[in-house]
Amino acid sequence: MEIRTEFEFELPIGFVDVQGNGHKTGTMRLATAVDELSLINDPRIVQNEAYASILILSQVVTSLGSLAAITPQVIEGLFVADLVYLQALYQQVNEKGLTTFQVACPHCNENHELDLMQLGELNATP
């Protein structure tokens, strides 16, 4: 059985670098225990616990468009919709080992399977 450790994604909006270039597609790897443990004594987290999300994503997002490196500053520069998307993807693949989950439609109340890997496609403009 092959274990999937990397997940390709497409951000709903995309990161815009200082040159104005957009970056939407990327790859996230599964987190390791070392990734989580490395955050324990980081002074940025001591000051603000919410910063842990920025740091962990900067470690596990291995590529984003043509960017040479994914730093905490890159993650800080994401639009909120993209940050929320990556946080949800991180949680799904690391805590549940899945990219799909069940959601109830607010209009018809029927359950549907939602794949986080396709959220970028749902938000794409024609």
Name the token pair of 84: 């929320």
| Residue type (1 letter), 6 | E
- Per-residue pLDDT at 99: 55
pLDDT 10s digit of each residue in the chain, 126 long?
Answer: 677 889 999 999 999 999 999 999 999 999 999 998 888 888 888 888 889 999 999 999 999 999 999 999 999 999 999 999 999 999 988 887 655 556 677 778 787 666 655 554 444 444
- Per-residue pLDDT at 67: 96
User: b/e for 47-80, b at 16 or more Cβ within 10 A?
Assistant: eeeebebbbbbbbbbebbeeeeebebebbeebee
- Per-residue pLDDT at 111: 77
Whether residue 32 contacts residue 100, with contact meaning beta carbons closer than 8 Å, is answered with no
* Domain definitions of the chain by residue range: 6-123
- Per-residue pLDDT at 49: 87
- Per-residue pLDDT at 124: 45
Residue that has been written with the tokens 């800080």 in this structure: 76
Residue that has been written with the tokens 């616990």 in this structure: 49
